[in-house]
């Protein structure tokens, strides 16, 4: 692994030299054989971003878990944090190689556009590579001094690592968000204000959305790694440890995933503020089918995660009293996602064209029922998690008031969404939008109240019985792997959606794409490339899983 540090630094310096030493060029585009320039840049960019998301997220929850172990004085958490962190050295190296290759190919195939972006953001590019260098050095010091530093100092170093990683993401997001909602430039593209170019309309929504999505993504990928190690474990102790690791990774993934729909709507609102036409294209025009696909993929993630928690209840003493609710939760999730994925206008034959909206799709395809469906789906996932927590605990006497308050909030959420849905069909569209936003905003404090009441209810409670870690059917682990794969596909799909919202613009309204690849890629082509990206990423991650597992066994003689 020590050689990886040198390779990483060399690659970064070469990329930086290429980036900053590039002379202005007259040629606007060059072609790439067989798959085309746009596709090769798209593939490299998305792979790089997937790995970047992973290496940003893992240190976040590794440090949190390490801190829990430090304050609880529980060595299990320290081992768990190290298991998560063991995936990082190879992942950093792959990210660096993909980043350097992406930079070279982008400058080679799109020299005019990349030259323009480098000219606008030149000062931030120096900052970016400086931060990358500091982050890389800090990562390897943090990882290889795990047992050498005092735990408090090691935690502080981990916090520094996470701050550096977040700053790297912020700088990259400034470039990405500028392409979508440019600011600080004239119509001709000349720079007026670098700070305005950085802090454009979609800068902060993209920062928050990517940070939370990255943590969720990293949690599910680490859960998939734990599932892989569980399925290949040789002893009951190993199975128990990786079962526990998979649970914690899934817990991190699902808690952060619940927040994503709300942050995503904020991103959409800011896009509408910047340019209403782009917002219409993004949400209700040429790209509207993306959100139907997204609903189906997120259904796999939500239902797959709940399925894992439902199976977990089979090994929880005292869970029998709550298993009767599982069929109702599963049906509620299925109905919610059926509404979420319902199109506004869909025809099954040529004869149906021109007949107006479908009597069912026309009612379910608007945003109001979809927001209600998202809220109910999120509520079902929260209830699944709460039932898991409640099943293994004996509620102390005298605390039923918290149960009543918790269920009152849950009932209020359901009634509010039903009432909002009813009135959405009898009021003007502008009022309907305001009602939808109100229900969306109400969900955030409601979720906080539900978790707060649950924490107060179970504080200091006793366990009903000992958790049987490792005693779980293999299909639960396959479920975790399926959730991780679906998460990769969803990340790539939404990356395509954000880029496609610009249509035939490199920088929306400022620099037009005049290459033969300009315009919106067809949905069929896009889904094929997204599926290919998912397979390549899963293949590379599987290789990292294998090499990390082999290294761990070699170092410790079979157990970690």
Lowest mean per-residue pLDDT among 127-131, 194-198, 312-316: 312-316
Give the span between the Cα atoms of 389 and 454, in whole angstroms. 9
Q: What is the pLDDT of residues 21-54, one digit of tens each?
A: 455 555 789 999 888 899 999 999 999 999 999 9
Better-scored residue on pLDDT, 9 or 60:
60
- Look at residue 352 in the predicted model and tell me its pLDDT: 53
C-alpha to C-alpha distance for 157 and 263, rounded to whole angstroms: 29
The average pLDDT across 106-128 equals: 93
Q: pLDDT tens-digit profile of 237-271?
A: 899 999 999 999 998 998 898 888 888 888 988 88
pLDDT at residue 551 greater than cutoff 70: no
Closest by CA to 496, choosing from 286, 247, 197, is 286
Residue 463: partners with Cβ closer than 8 Å, 6 or more residues away: 317, 392, 393, 394
Asked whether residue 421 carries a pLDDT value surpassing 80, the answer given is yes
DSSP per-residue string spanning 489-555: HHHHHHHHHHHHTTTTEEETTTEE--STT-SPPPHHHHHHHHHHHHHHHHHHHHHHHHHHHHHHHHH
Q: Looking at residue 351, what is its pLDDT? A: 54
Least confident interval from 152-156, 192-196, 294-298: 294-298
More confident residue, 432 or 190: 190
pLDDT tens sequence across 449-480? 998 988 888 887 777 767 778 888 899 999 99
Query: Which pLDDT score is estimated for 185?
Result: 95
pLDDT band at 483 (very low <50, low <70, confident <90, very high): very high
3-state helix, strand, coil in the chain (%, to 5): 75, 0, 20
Of 17-21, 83-87, 178-182, 217-221, the least confident: 17-21
pLDDT in tens, 339-386: 888 876 665 555 555 555 666 666 777 778 888 888 899 999 999 988
Give me the pLDDT at residue 262, please: 82
Decide if 364 contacts 357 (C-beta within 8 A).
no
Name the one residue in this structure whose structure tokens are 């709507």. Answer: 265
- pLDDT-derived band at 546 (thresholds 50, 70, 90) equals confident
Mean pLDDT for all residues in the chain: 86
**The predicted structure's pLDDT at residue 317:** 72
User: Residue 559 — very low, low, confident or very high, per pLDDT cuts 50/70/90?
Assistant: very low
Span 482-508, average pLDDT: 92
Give me the mean pLDDT over the 76-86 stretch: 90
Q: How confident is the model at residue 12 (pLDDT cuts 50, 70, 90)?
A: low
Segment holding 93, helix H or strand E: helix 88-109
The pLDDT tens digits for 297-344 are 999 999 999 999 998 887 777 777 888 899 999 999 999 998 888 876
Furthest-apart CA atoms within the chain: distance in Å: 77
Confidence grade of residue 15 (pLDDT, cut at 50, 70, 90): low
DSSP code, position 150 = -
pLDDT above 90 as % of the chain: 48
How many Å apart are CA 111 and CA 123, to the nearest integer? 19
User: Sorting pLDDT into bands at 50, 70 and 90, what band is 160?
Assistant: very high
Find the range with the poorest average confidence among 16-25, 194-203, 330-339, 507-516: 16-25
User: Using CA atoms, how far apart are residues 122 and 263, in angstroms rounded to an integer?
Assistant: 30
Q: Check residue 336 and give its pLDDT.
A: 92
Q: Determine the pLDDT at residue 555.
A: 39
In this prediction, residues 107-127 reach a mean pLDDT of 93
Q: Which residue has the higher pLDDT, 497 or 159?
A: 159
Lowest pLDDT segment from 69-73, 215-219, 434-438:
434-438
Instruction: Report CA-CA distances (Å) from 31 to 38, 379, 427.
Output: 9, 49, 53
pLDDT of 215 higher than 90: yes
Instruction: State residue 167's pLDDT score.
Output: 96
Structure confidence at residue 387 (pLDDT): 87
pLDDT band at residue 11 under the 50/70/90 scheme: low
- Partners of 511 in the β-ladder: 507
pTM above 0.75, yes or no: yes
pLDDT computed for residue 26 by the predictor: 56
* pLDDT above 70: percentage of residues in the chain: 89
């Amino acid at each position: 692994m020590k050689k990886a540090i040198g390779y990483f630094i060399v690659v970064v310096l070469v990329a930086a030299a290429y980036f900053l030493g590039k002379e202005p060029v007259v040629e606007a585009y060059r072609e790439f054989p067989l798959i085309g320039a746009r596709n090769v840049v798209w593939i490299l960019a998305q792979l790089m971003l997937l790995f970047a998301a992973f290496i940003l997220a893992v240190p976040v929850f590794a440090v949190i878990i390490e801190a829990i172990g430090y304050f609880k004085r529980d060595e299990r958490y320290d081992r768990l944090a190290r298991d998560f962190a063991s995936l990082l050295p190879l992942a950093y190296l792959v990210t660096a190689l993909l980043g350097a290759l992406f930079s070279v190919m982008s400058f080679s195939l799109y020299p005019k556009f990349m030259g323009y972006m480098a000219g606008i953001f030149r000062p931030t590019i120096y900052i970016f590579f400086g931060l990358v260098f500091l982050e890389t050095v800090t990562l390897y010091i943090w990882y290889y001094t795990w047992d050498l530093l005092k735990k408090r100092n090691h935690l502080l170093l981990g916090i520094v690592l996470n701050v550096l990683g977040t700053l790297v993401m912020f700088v990259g997001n400034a470039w990405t968000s500028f392409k979508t909602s440019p600011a600080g430039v004239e119509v001709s593209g000349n720079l007026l204000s670098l700070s305005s170019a950085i802090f454009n309309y979609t800068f902060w929504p993209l920062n928050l959305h990517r940070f939370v999505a990255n943590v969720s993504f990293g949690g599910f990928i680490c859960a998939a790694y734990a599932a892989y190690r569980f399925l290949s474990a040789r002893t009951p102790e190993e199975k128990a440890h990786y079962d526990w690791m998979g649970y914690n990774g899934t817990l991190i993934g699902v808690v952060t995933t619940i927040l994503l729909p709300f942050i995503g709507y904020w991103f959409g609102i800011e896009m509408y503020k910047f340019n209403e036409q782009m917002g219409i294209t993004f949400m209700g025009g040429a790209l509207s089918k993306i959100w139907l696909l997204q609903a189906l993929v997120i259904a796999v993630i939500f239902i797959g995660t709940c399925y894992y928690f439902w199976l977990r209840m089979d090994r929880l003493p005292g869970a029998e009293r709550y298993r009767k609710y599982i069929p109702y939760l599963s049906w509620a999730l299925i109905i919610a996602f059926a509404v979420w994925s319902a199109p506004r206008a869909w025809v099954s034959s040529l004869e149906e064209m021109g007949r107006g909206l479908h009597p069912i799709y026309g009612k379910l395809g608007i945003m109001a029922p979809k927001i209600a469906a998202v809220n109910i789906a999120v509520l079902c996932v929260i209830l699944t998690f709460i039932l898991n927590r409640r099943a293994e605990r004996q509620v102390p006497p005298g605390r039923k008031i918290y149960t009543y308050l918790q269920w009152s909030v849950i009932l209020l959420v359901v009634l509010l969404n039903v009432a909002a849905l009813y009135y959405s069909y009898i009021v003007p569209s502008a009022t309907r939008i305001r009602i939808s936003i109100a229900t969306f905003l109400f969900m955030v404090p409601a979720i906080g109240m539900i978790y707060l009441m649950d924490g107060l209810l179970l504080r200091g409670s006793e366990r009903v019985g000992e958790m049987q870690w490792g005693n779980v059917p293999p299909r639960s682990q396959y479920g975790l792997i399926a959730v991780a794969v679906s998460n990769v596909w969803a990340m790539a799909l939404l990356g395509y959606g954000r880029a496609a919202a610009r249509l035939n613009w490199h920088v929306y309204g400022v620099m037009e794409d005049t290459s033969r690849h300009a315009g919106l890629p067809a949905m069929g082509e896009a889904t094929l490339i997204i599926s290919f990206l998912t397979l390549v990423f899963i293949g590379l991650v599987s290789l990292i899983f294998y090499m990390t597992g082999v290294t761990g066994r070699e170092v410790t003689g079979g157990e970690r």
